[in-house]
Amino acid sequence: MTIGIFDSGVGGLTVFKSIAENFPETDLYYLGDTARVPYGNKSPSTIKRYSEECASFLTSNFSVDALVIACNTASSYAIDFIREKFGIPVIGVVVPGSFQAVKTSINKKIGIIGTNGTVKSRAYYNTIKKMCADIDVYQKACPLFVPLVEEGRINHEITDMAIKEYIGKLHSKGIDTLILGCTHYPLLKERIKSIFPELSIVDSAEAILDDIKNLDITFKESGKREIFVTDDACSFEKFAEQILGKTKISEVNIEK
């Protein structure tokens, strides 16, 4: 089986790592659209166009059997469009994350943190409400988290202040479960847990694994891993090394 994974930038490497560790014989190709990051402040039509170009690069160059949209914003706005356009299994992070949160929450109060785009789309909110209408869902955009993670300020007092400011507002609502609605946020999971230890944290990078297992495709390949970016950003290389260790990264042009 060959899987293509794309994200607006570096955050999806947390998803890439999770899949790579759990499916060692699967060929994986990752594309980070670093030239056009972030997606979170783009219009829905632009996000769909960018997502189509990312998917086209992966499907035309590597004959992938399935696509994983690691970007929460792209999952929120473009997943149905990509499924219809390419006709292969497409897994996003919103539905698996929502399902895991509904299954986890005891008091039926769930918090969601994400980019402005993900929160504005209400994708998690609507998905959770469809699964269980009587769950209370609270959302909070956390625009400072991505730059803090990319600057390597994970264990820093500024990050702790941002966590208390953003998540404290959700915590005051009585939530017992928190969805990390951006692929950068798993890097902050331990810091969040240290400040709010009573919260159950849902990481979509882990939640999608069952969806991949359920694909009716053989998983025996050569275990190839290749990573591509649309702009040779040094921050991506630094972030990739932080998550994966020393990794070869190739730059490509995907714009039509």
What is the C-alpha separation between 191 and 158, in angstroms, rounded? 12
The CATH class that applies to domain 94-204 reads alpha beta
Q: Is the dihedral of CA 133, 138, 141, 144 positive or negative?
A: negative
Confidence of residue 242 (pLDDT cuts 50, 70, 90): confident
Widest pairwise Cα distance in the chain = 49
Confidence of residue 145 (pLDDT cuts 50, 70, 90): very high
With b for 16 or more beta-carbon neighbours within 10 A and e for fewer, the 123-132 pattern comes to bbbebbbeee
Written as one string, the DSSP assignment of 187-217 is GGHHHHHHHSTT-EEEEHHHHTHHHHHTSSS
Q: CATH topology of 2-92+208-251 equal to that of 94-204? A: yes
For residue 148, the number of C-alpha atoms closer than 13 Å in the C-beta half-sphere is 20
What is the C-alpha separation between 197 and 70, in angstroms, rounded? 26
More confident residue, 81 or 214: 81
Confidence of residue 256 (pLDDT cuts 50, 70, 90): low
Catalytic residue among 54, 71, 142, 234, which? 71
Token representation of residue 209? 């694994």
With b for 16 or more beta-carbon neighbours within 10 A and e for fewer, the 178-201 pattern comes to bbbbbbbbbbbbebbeebbeebbb
DSSP state of 58: H
Q: In this model, does residue 43 exceed pLDDT 70?
A: yes
Percent of the chain with pLDDT over 90: 70
More confident residue, 221 or 169: 169
DSSP state of 96: H
Confidence of residue 184 (pLDDT cuts 50, 70, 90): confident
Q: In this model, does residue 233 exceed pLDDT 80?
A: no
pLDDT at residue number 65: 92
Q: In this model, does residue 234 exceed pLDDT 80?
A: no
List the chain domain ranges: 2-92+208-251, 94-204
Catalytic residue among 132, 142, 182, 234, which? 182
Q: In this model, does residue 30 exceed pLDDT 70?
A: yes
Q: Is 132 considered catalytic here?
A: no
Fold assignment, 2-92+208-251: Rossmann fold (3.40.50)
Q: In this model, does residue 235 exceed pLDDT 90?
A: no
What is the C-alpha separation between 247 and 225, in angstroms, rounded? 10
What does the pLDDT average to over 157-169?
96
